[in-house]
Structure 1
């Protein structure tokens, strides 16, 4: 093995962690892959023998690349609803192969991504690197160009936003989550209001994302959400895992219409995320129909 092949092999050992960092920073599998590829290009053009701590060097470079990408996004926003829309990570529901298992483990809920997208780039970086990956504030400070005390404050502000959003933790039992969602659809299909209320948490949240053209809508409470739950006419449901949650691609008259993701805790649905943005819905449909494991940009 020559020197270049050896360096490539060492980089591949770090790729999964780098991609996990980049995905949580950017909320997009495709953008995360781009960031990691840029890190490889930087490494291949560097004098790797002079890098004492390769893991630390790679983490710093990918974090700086993600910070640059996040800041570029914010500069491109021209109206209040032109926020970055996180890509959907969609996997056909069923027997998962090793790649799909890895992608499921690496996914981040839509609810958390919504909150992370509301943070400043520096807050998001500090929170992701410290709270999710355990980097010390001394290292984070050098990446964001602040003091360690300021970096700690960034993470603290972000943490308050995340905790204040009260993002529900899903039940770890995937089979139980499937049963609860099936009960929801059975009740919705027959229009059984009482059965719908029974399967919904009293404080359930229904959030519908229409894309950048209009703000999302939010409905709270089991009775209000149950009134919204009606099986679509001419609808076809295709089971999927959406950002780690039990979900469904809904088509109307053969055309992709929406994607739903259910957060289940115990025997109740505590959150429903609906995506009606046409571009992301069509990419999700393409991923499911083609048997791929995620949507692109």
Structure 2
């Protein structure tokens, strides 16, 4: 094995993983794409590779596009049982977060919206917004013309902007306070206070702990409040499903506050919140074990705050 080639690859592994995660919305799939890229890199004629970073970016992007276009991936996503895999703040796979565009491109809300784009539109959007590639560079990566890259980017921006409600963005401390108040209302059963903390266009989505073939979706403040009350109420059946009585923590997931249920250093459930104008605009509940593996792994390495509820 060429140690210099391995060293070159490892120097860019983090960037490739964060690119693949944004393209696929899955940490496990992103890791597979990066590993596939690594194997292709080892088999490549390195003397003919002028710029390794560009070569690796092109390969990992096209590996991801192949995955997005596959029949299995289309079925999983079109079937309506798919949510992006949540990542804990500090996870290197989240990648660059210096600009608003970079931070938003990895939010669960935008990752969900990107599912509605074509694979090429998604790739152009991510390469342009999150990694600041020029349209000439994107054209080379995707083997399209520069004008085609510009057109794809324009359509993608319009689609994302039209389906993403706008309002004043909450800073992390303010958003956390809203979630803390929301959690207090949810666990106390104060429905009126819950309703008051929701925006008029609030939505809630749950994967049903992986037990449902489709996502469970709720709209209107009253229905979302009812769903939340039921969801946050502990029952013997829920404890059996979780394997015990988890502690409840508030942490940042994909840049937004989330409520995490943790049992024996393993995250068994996550509810991610989007806060807008001082209220909760959306909730995404994820409890399927295959979507929480990396979150649990990073959680074990993370110095967490004290739980807001010791035993749920």
* TM surpasses 0.5: yes
d(CA) in 2 for partners of 1:215 and 1:141?
36
Q: Residues 53-92 of structure 1 correspond to what in structure 2 (within 5 A)?
A: 53-73=51-71, 77=75, 80-81=78-79, 84-90=82-88
**Partner Cα separation in structure 2 for residue 169 and residue 36 of structure 1:** 36
For residues 271 and 254 of structure 2, the distance between their equivalents in structure 1, rounded to whole angstroms, comes to 11
Which of 300, 305, 309 is 1:291 aligned to?
Answer: 300
How far 1:184 sits from its partner (Å)?
0.7
Q: CA deviation at 1:54?
A: 2.0
RMSD, matched Cα: 3.5
15-24 vs 37-46, which deviates more?
Answer: 37-46
Shift of 1:131: 2.4
Cα distance in structure 1, aligned partners of 2:174 and 2:73: 43
Q: What CA distance in whole angstroms lies between the structure 2 residues aligned with 1:197 and 1:209? A: 22
User: What is the correspondence of 1:166-205 to structure 2 with a 5 Å cutoff?
Assistant: 166=164, 171=169, 173-205=171-203
Using the size of structure 2 for normalisation, the TM-score is 0.74
Partner Cα separation in structure 2 for residue 39 and residue 52 of structure 1: 17
Distance 1:44 1:19, change over 3 A: same
Structure 1 residue corresponding to 2:281, chosen from 252, 262, 270: 270
Which residue pairs with 1:214 in the alignment? 214
1:181 deviates by: 1.0
Task: State the alpha-carbon separation in 1 of the partners of residues 192 and 77 from structure 2.
Answer: 41
Which runs of structure 2 are paired with 1:122-201 in the superposition (5 Å)? Answer: 122-166=120-164, 171=169, 173-201=171-199
Is the 8 Å Cα contact of residues 177 and 264 (structure 1) preserved in structure 2?
Answer: yes
Q: Structure 1 CA distance, aligned partners of 2:248 and 2:227?
A: 20
Alpha carbons of structure 1 residues 80 and 5: separation in structure 2 relative to 1, 3 Å: closer
Aligned equivalent of 1:226: 225
Uncovered stretches (5+) of structure 1, i.e. residues with no partner: 92-99
Give me the whole-angstrom Cα distance separating, in 2, the residues matched to 1:190 and 1:63: 47
Change (3 A) 1:175 1:101: farther
TM-score (norm 1): 0.77
Hey, what does 1:21 align to over in structure 2? 19
State the SS of the aligned residue for 1:157: helix
**Is 2:58–2:142's contact at 8 Å kept on the other side of the alignment?**
no
Please state whether the residue corresponding to 1:77 is helix, strand or coil: helix
Count of aligned residue pairs for this structure pair: 278
| Gapped regions of structure 2 (runs ≥ 5) | 97-102, 239-245, 303-312
Matching of residue 238 in structure 1 with residue 239 in structure 2: no
